Amino acid sequence: MITEKMQQAFLEQINKELYSEYLYLSMKAYFADKNLNGFVNWMSIQVQEEHAHAMGMFDYVIERGGRITLDTIEKPKNDWASPLEAFKDVVQHEQYITSQINALYDVADETKDRAAQLFLNWYVKEQVEEEASAGDILAHLELIGNDTKALLDLDKELSSRVFNPPVIG
């Protein structure tokens, strides 16, 4: 059975994962408006991944005998000055999520919840990947600067990303 404190910490993180989904959905709309369809594809997959992150925790809380209650999802930003500015926000957001997953792990540690620690190991590893992939794209955008042809090449590259449903836990 999950403790009240652990359950509350998971509920707060589920909300943040749903906000991540919402933020990337908003970025997907921004890139669609710019006709950058490879970026749209990248964001579509990001949206699906964030949904899976939220649902993984949602199902885990239920499996541990907890009770899910949902809260308001914060309104995301809807516009960016450039793809570079959007990806600065992606990297900053993923760094924030990493800090929040670590804080969730700390609660599992404090409450000696070994099952939650094992479960959260997947998320700790996932954040390494999340920060790395967003960081790579940001670095490319910084190199690209105002070179439209290079931006379109990157867009083409991002169109090949595919969604592999994560096996969480």
Q: Which of residues 121-160 bind ligand OFO (CB under 6 A)?
A: 130
Is 97 an interacting residue with respect to ligand OFO (CB under 6 A)? yes
CB of 146 to ligand OFO, least distance (A): 29
CB of 148 to ligand OFO, least distance (A): 29
Q: What is the 3-state secondary structure (H, E, C) of 32-64?
A: HHCCCHHHHHHHHHHHHHHHHHHHHHHHHHHHC
CB-CB contact of 48 with 163 (8 Å) = yes
Whichever of 30 and 123 has its CB closer to ligand OFO, that residue is 123
Whichever of 121 and 156 has its CB closer to ligand OFO, that residue is 121
CB-CB contact of 31 with 78 (8 Å) = no
Is 40 an interacting residue with respect to ligand OFO (CB under 6 A)? no
Length of the chain in residues, anyone?
Answer: 169
Positive or negative, the Cα torsion across 74, 161, 54, 16? negative
CB of 97 to ligand OFO, least distance (A): 4
Among 7, 20, 26, 41, binds ligand OFO (CB under 6 A): 20
Positions touching ligand OFO (CB under 6 A) are 17, 20, 50, 53, 94, 97, 130
